[in-house]
Amino acid sequence: MEEQRKNRPIGVFDSGVGGLTVLKQLVKLRPDMDYIYFGDTKNLPYGEKSKSRLLEITREIFDFFEKKEVSSVVMACNTSSAQVYEELKDSYPFKLYPIIQTASKCIAQDKSLKKIVIFATNGTINSKMYSKSLKMHNQNLEMLEIACPEWVPIVEKRIGSENKAELIEKYLKPALDFKPDKIILGCTHYPYLLDDFTQFAPKNLFINPAESFSEYIAKDFPKPSTKNQGMREFFVSSEPQNFVKNASVFYEINEPVKLADLG
Ligand code: DGL
């Protein structure tokens, strides 16, 4: 990376508040760095989008980050890591960190794991990116992949919240019947529901990939040669107030959230 770029902020993005589960860990591990978070609230849920639409959307976000001259971009979105990372990885002058490919490598290092359930969006599950990446590092893993399309709308729009327990049990039941050693929360929105999951299963059954992902990137970030301010900037593509409210379960935003002009 060029010396000048090294001192620039790091971009982090997801379809809405989900990626804040990653930003929170990053800020904890590397408070010295400057971050620009982009929540694509206008286009969520990503899990139901076609690959070609996701490519268009992600290119717009990367163009936005390019204008901001970020040093790197953290793809804190499993769906876009699964669907568009490969295609875009060499197209921009910043380094990309994809969540699935990075976290799978860390998770698969635990050789005591034999049976794993992966909860994720339709887009991620259909790509089979999680199971392929985990298998690359541990061929003996037995895996069950389950798409949970109702969960992101609960977190972002409160849609279905009146039947929340039912909508959670619908997917947790087959997962628990599989008797997994761990369940991977393969969508960054799902940790927002962790308290609800623990009504059915113990907390330590769940892996939040944001943790190992953030540990990896926090170590990998180059030390800036000038002192950063620990700056945080937040942008969304629609409804900034709703974003702040939804985020508050996980992350208290004290900075103004701005509408981003992606045009
Ligand atoms: N949170 C994102 C993910 O990790 C996308 C969720 C969505 O918008 O469907 O896949």
Q: Tens-of-pLDDT digits for all 263 residues of the chain?
A: 666 677 899 999 999 999 999 999 999 999 989 999 999 999 999 999 999 999 999 999 999 999 999 999 999 999 999 999 999 999 999 999 999 999 999 999 999 999 999 999 999 999 999 999 999 999 999 999 999 999 999 999 888 788 999 999 999 999 999 999 999 999 999 999 999 999 999 999 999 999 999 999 999 987 776 666 789 999 999 999 999 999 998 899 999 999 997 86
Looking at 12, 129, 187, 207, which residue is catalytic? 187
| Residue 89: predicted pLDDT | 95
Please give the distance of CA 122 from its chain centroid, rounded to a whole number.
Answer: 15
* Largest pairwise CA distance in the chain: 53
120 CA closest ligand 1 atom index: 10
- C-alpha of residue 86 to centroid of ligand 1, in Å: 17
Top mutation candidate among 78, 84, 151 for ligand 1, by most atoms within 8 Å of CB: 78
| Residue 229: predicted pLDDT | 75
80 CA closest ligand 1 atom index: 10
| Residue 223: predicted pLDDT | 75
| Residue 250: predicted pLDDT | 87
| Residue 3: predicted pLDDT | 67
47 CA closest ligand 1 atom index: 9
148 is known as an active-site residue: no
Q: What residues does each domain of the chain span? A: 2-98+212-259, 102-209
Top mutation candidate among 23, 189, 213 for ligand 1, by most atoms within 8 Å of CB: 189
* pTM reported for the whole predicted model: 0.96
| Residue 241: predicted pLDDT | 96
CATH no. for 2-98+212-259: 3.40.50.1860
Please give the distance of CA 262 from its chain centroid, rounded to a whole number.
Answer: 21
| Residue 110: predicted pLDDT | 95
- C-alpha of residue 121 to centroid of ligand 1, in Å: 6
Q: Which residue has the tokens 């900034």?
A: 240
Tell me the C-alpha distance between 143 and 131, whole Å.
7
- C-alpha of residue 60 to centroid of ligand 1, in Å: 17
Kindly provide the b/e burial profile for residues 81-106, where b requires at least 16 CB atoms within 10 angstroms of the residue's own CB. Answer: bbbbbeebeeebebbbbbbbbbbbbb
Looking at 77, 116, 152, 155, which residue is catalytic? 77
Tell me the C-alpha distance between 51 and 49, whole Å.
7
187 is known as an active-site residue: yes
- C-alpha of residue 81 to centroid of ligand 1, in Å: 10
Asked, colleague to colleague, whether 2-98+212-259 and 102-209 share their fold, the answer is yes
What CATH architecture is 102-209?
3-Layer(aba) Sandwich (3.40)
Alpha carbon nearest to ligand 1 atom 2, residue: 77
Tell me the C-alpha distance between 124 and 135, whole Å.
16
Please provide residue 73's backbone torsions phi and psi, each rounded to the nearest 5 degrees.
Answer: -125, 125
Residues with CB under 6 A from ligand 1: 14-15, 18, 44-47, 77-79, 121, 124, 152, 187-189
